[in-house]
Amino acid sequence: MRAFRSLSRAMFLGFIRDRAALIFTILIPVLFLVLLGSIYKSSATPKVTVLEVGKVSMLDQAQAASPRSLGQVMTVTRTSNLAVALADVRKGTDGAAVQQQGTRLIAHYSVADPTKAAIANAVFSSIVQQANLAATGRPPTYQLTAAQVEDKSLKPIQYLAPGLLGWAIASGAAFGASITLVGWRKDKLLRRLRLAPVSTSSVVTARIGMSVAIAIVQMFVFLAIAITPYFGLKLTAYWWMAIPVVIIGTLAFMSIGLLVGAVSKTQQAATSIANLIILPMAFLGGAFIPLDFAPSWIQKVSYVMPLRYLVVGVQNVMARGLGPASALPAIAILLGFTAVLTGIAVRVFRWDEI
Amino acid sequence: MVSGVSATISVRDLSKSYGDLRAVDGVTFEVERGEFFGILGPNGAGKTTTLEIIEGLRRPDGGEVSVLGMTPWPRNPALLPRMGVQLQASSFFEHLTAREQLRTFAALYGIPAERADAMLEVVGLTDMAATRTEKLSGGQAQRLSIACALVHGPDVLFLDEPTGALDPQARRNLWDLLRAISAEGHTVVLTTHHMDEAETLCDRVAIMDHGQILKIGSPAALVRELDQPVRISVEAGQLSLDEARALVAAAGRTGDSVSGDGAVGDGAMVADDGVSLTIVTSEPATVLAALADRQALAGLQVRGGTLEDVFLHLTGREYRA
C-alpha cells in the first residue's frame, strides 16, 4: 500500500510539473471548446429579417395569434419607404419586404439567399392560407400538431461539449499511457521497478488511477466552462452517469496507449502513432463532427470507432436527457474493446529495449 | 555451489545466446561475502548480460546462478529486497526532486522517509535535496542513483558502469563513496571498462571477452603475472646512452618482448629523447640499484605494468566499433 501510494504521488507530481502535459491534456481541449463553442453559437439560428412596408394587417394578426412560432423564424421590422426596403432586400441585408394591398399580400424577395427566400415565401403563404380559412368562418377540418423530437434545448453546445470532451479524454489517456511506457522503458525505470519488491499490479493500478483522475478533472473543467450562460450547456437529469462512461472510456484509450507504447521505441514515435490513431478517430467517431449531421459513410464507419461509444454514451445521458441505462451498451462495448486491446498489448509488451 | 557457504554469488557454467550470438558462453565464478568484485571487458563482451542474469532480469539458457543462496530467476520477491541495483542510465521518475526520488524508491521497499533523507547525506546530496533530478550534474545524478540502490540496505550492490560519463573529479568522488560502501561490509559487483577504476576499487576482477571469462584474480596478481617490462626514465644528461646500454646488459634479462606502449624507439631498450633517458627492463631492481650507484636518479619515473596492459594483452588491441 505504501508502494502504491508513493508511486501514485510520484506520477501525480510528475504530471502537474510537466507543463507540456498540462497544456496538452487540459488547455488545448478547453481552447477548442471555447473557439468552436463561440463559432457554432453565432451561426446557430439563421432567422429571416422581414421588412413590413406600411400596415400589413394579415402579418400583424398572425403575429398576434402565435408570436412564438413566428418569432423563431423571422424578425419583423416596420418601415414606410418601399424603395429603401426593396434596395435592402436586393442587397441581401433583409430577407424579404412585404406589403398589403386590400386582400393581396405582396412579398418581395431576392434569390441572393435562396434558403431565406424560401422560408419567407413558405411563411407568407401559410399566413394567407390561414387568413382564407378564417374568412370561411368554419373551424378547420384538418389540423397539424408539430412535436419536436429533440430536447428543445439541443443547441450545438449539446453536441460539441460531449464530442470534444470525448476527444480530450481519449487523447489524454492514449498519449499518457504510451509516453509513460516508452519513457520508463527508455530510462530503464521499468527495469528498476521490476527489481524492486513491488507488484506489477501496484504499478499498473497507480498509473490507471492517475489517468482516471486526469480524465475526471478534464470532465469537470469542461462542464464548468460549457454550462456558463455564454455557452449554455444544459445538463440533463442523469448527467452523472457520464462519469462511469468517462472512466471506462479512459481505460479503453489507455489500452490503445499501452499497445502503442509497447511497439514504439521512442517517445516521438509513440506520439506520432497515437496521433495517427486519435486524430482521424476524432473526425470519424463523432467528436469533431456531430454524427447526426455527418455524411452517412461517416455514420457507418463510426460504429467501429471506440471514440463513438465514449462520445455517444456521454451525450445520451448528459445532453439528450436519456436514462442511465442508455449508457450501458457504450460501457459494455468499451470494456470489451479494452479487454481485447490489453490482451494484445500484454503479448507484445517488452520490459527492455533490444 | 562449488565451495563454501560464504559465497554471496555463485555462477556456474552460465550461457545465454541471442540468435547466433553467444552473449555469455560458459561463465563460472564466485563472489565472496563483502568482496568488491569487478567484471571487465570491452563493449559487447557479455558483462552486462552476465550481470542482468545474476540480477534476475534475464533467464539464462544454461547454467546455474545463486545469489545469497537463492535463485534470481524467475523474479524472486524474497531476494529483491536484499539486492540493490544501479543501472547504466540513471533511472528516475520524471520531474521529481532528489529527495522525492529517494523517498519514492524507499517506499517501494517499505522504508520510511527519514531513512531516505539520511541516505541523501551519505551520498553528500543534502544541499541538492530540493533540486529536480534533471538539474543535477552527472556525478550528482550518479550518486543519487547509487543512493536509490542502497536506500533499503541491501546485502549485495550491483553497479553497471557507474562512472561512465563522469569527469575525473566526479569519478574520484564516486570512488570514495564506493570504497566507503564496501568498507561497511556490502558485497559489491561492478562492471566497467575503466581499468584504473577496477584496479583501485576491486578486490578481484574477472576479465571477459566474447562471452567468456579470460582471467580472474586480484588486479595486482594479474599485473604481476603478465610480467610486463618496467620503463625507468630519468632526466637526460646524467648518463650517456652507451653507459645506459652497458648497465642494461649487466642487468641480464631485458625487455625483448616489449611492444606497443612499452617500446622505445625502433625496438631499442634504451633511448634518449633529450628530455629523458628511458630504459625498458624486466630487471628493474638491478637497473635501479645501478642508477643509484651512479647518482643518476634525478627526475626518476618508474612505470610498471597496469591492469590495462593485462586487459589489452588478453583482449587484443584491434579497435572495435
Question: Which of A:10-69 have CB within 8 Å of B?
Answer: 10-11, 13-14, 17-18
Of the candidates A218, A195, A209, A157, the one whose C-alpha atom is nearest the C-alpha of residue A21 is: A218
**Interface contact A13-B100, CB threshold 8 A:** yes
Q: How many CB atoms lie within 10 A of CB B281?
A: 23
State the DSSP H helix or E strand holding residue A223, giving kind and residue range, or none if neither. Answer: helix A200-226
pLDDT tens sequence across A184-226: 998 889 989 999 998 888 888 999 999 999 999 999 999 999 9
The residue-averaged pLDDT of B74-89 equals: 88
Helix, strand, coil: what percent of chain A each, to 5? Answer: 70, 5, 25
| Nearest alpha-carbon partner for B98 in B139, B148, B138 | B148
Q: Which of A174-178, A220-224, B49-53, B87-91 has the lowest mean pLDDT?
A: B87-91
The answer to whether B57 and B158 are in contact (CB under 8 A) is no
Range of weakest confidence among A330-334, B40-44, B149-153: B40-44
Task: Inform me whether the C-beta atom of residue A5 falls under 8 Å from chain B C-beta atoms.
Answer: yes
**Residues β-bridged to residue B160:** B191
Optimal mutation site among B108, B111, B132, B156, interface A, most CBs of chain A within 10 A: B108
- What's the pLDDT at B3? 47
Full pLDDT tens readout for chain A, 354 residues: 788 999 999 999 999 999 888 898 889 999 999 998 888 776 555 677 888 888 888 888 887 877 777 777 778 888 888 888 888 888 877 888 888 888 888 888 887 777 777 888 888 888 888 888 888 878 777 777 766 555 444 678 888 899 999 999 999 999 999 999 999 998 889 989 999 998 888 888 999 999 999 999 999 999 999 999 888 888 888 999 999 999 999 999 999 999 999 999 999 999 999 999 999 999 999 998 888 888 899 999 999 999 999 999 999 999 888 999 999 999 999 999 999 999 999 888 888 765
| Confidence check: pLDDT of B1 > 70 | no
The answer to whether residues A274 and A281 touch, using CB atoms and an 8 Å cutoff, is: no
Shortest distance, CA A17 to any CA of chain B (angstroms)? 6
Interchain CB distance below 8 Å, A196 and B105: yes
Name the more confident of B108 and A95.
B108
User: Could you tell me the three cell numbers for A124?
Assistant: 407568407
Torsions phi, psi for A323 (to 5 deg): -75, 170
Give the contacts of A219 (CB within 8 A, at least 6 positions apart).
A165, A169, A242, A243, A246
Which residues of B fall within a CB distance of 8 Å from A7? 104, 107-108
- List Cα–Cα distances, B198 to A217, A249, B195, B206, B207, in angstroms: 53, 54, 5, 10, 10
Cα of A246 to nearest chain B Cα, Å: 27
Is B19's Cβ below 8 Å from some Cβ in A? no
Domain boundaries, chain A: 2-41+155-348, 48-136
- Identify which of B81, B92, B100 has the shortest CB distance to residue A197: B81
Pairing of strands A74-79, A96-101: unpaired
> What CA–CA distance (Å, rounded) separates A226 from A29?
12
Long-range contacts of A62-65, Cβ-Cβ distance < 8 Å, separation of 24 or more: A62/A127, A62/A130, A62/A131, A65/A130
pLDDT at position A314: 95
Q: Does B89 touch chain A (CB under 8 A)?
A: yes
Chain A residues in contact with B164 (beta carbon < 8 A): none
Instruction: State how far residue B267 is from chain A, nearest Cα, in angstroms.
Output: 46
**CATH fold group of domain A48-136:** D-Maltodextrin-Binding Protein; domain 2 (3.40.190)
Distances in whole angstroms, Cα of residue A65 to Cα of each of A61, A127, B1, B175: 6, 11, 103, 96
Give CA B198 to chain center in angstroms: 2
The alpha carbon of residue A353 and the mean position of all alpha carbons in its chain are separated, in whole angstroms, by: 40
The better pLDDT of the pair A134, B202 is held by B202
Query: Residue B258: is its pLDDT beyond 50?
Result: no
Cβ contact B108–A14 (<8 Å): no
Distance CA A316, CA A339 (A): 24
Q: Alpha helices, DSSP H only, in A137-194?
A: 156-186, 189-194
Which of A7, A12, A192, A202 is most worth mutating to test chain B (most B CB atoms within 10 A of its CB)? A192
B81–chain A Cβ distance below 8 A for any pair: yes
Q: In the predicted model, what is the mean pLDDT of residues B90-105?
A: 92
Size of interface A-B (CB pairs under 8 A): 70
Express each pLDDT in A51-65 by its tens digit: 888 888 888 888 787
Residue B169: band (very low, low, confident or very high) from pLDDT cuts 50, 70, 90? confident
How does DSSP assign B30-98, residue by residue?
Answer: EEETT-EEEEE-STTSSHHHHHHHHHTSS--SEEEEEETTB--TTT-TTTGGGEEEE-SS----TT-BH
Q: Are strands B156-160 and B187-192 parallel, antiparallel or unpaired?
A: parallel
